[in-house]
Amino acid sequence: MAMLRSLDDDSQVKTRVCQYEASKNEKGTEIAKQLVLGKIEGQNQVLKKYGLKRHDFSVLKGVNSLKADDTMDLGAN
C-alpha cells in the first residue's frame, strides 16, 4: 500500500525541521526522555500482568543525565 502526495506537499519537511529543532534544545530532550521512560514503564506493566521478568530501571540511570548535545544521529548509516 502506498500513499501518493502532491509534489507541493512539504509536510514531511516541516516535521523533520521541527524534530531537528527539538533535538537541539533541552525541552525536546526532556520530552524524549519522558517518552522513553513512559514506554518502558508501560511495558513493565504488561510484563507484570503476565508474570514475566520486567525491565531493570537501574540500567537507565544515565537517561536522566543526558543533555541535548549528547544525542546521536540515529538516521546515519
Using alpha carbons, list the distances in angstroms from residue 66 to 33, 51, 76: 8, 32, 20
Whether residue 63 contacts residue 36, with contact meaning beta carbons closer than 8 Å, is answered with yes
Q: Is the pLDDT confidence value at 62 over 70?
A: no
What pLDDT, on a 0 to 100 scale, did the predictor assign at position 22?
Answer: 78
Rounded to an integer, the average pLDDT of 45-66 is 78
pLDDT at site 59: 63
Question: Cell for 12?
Answer: 514531511
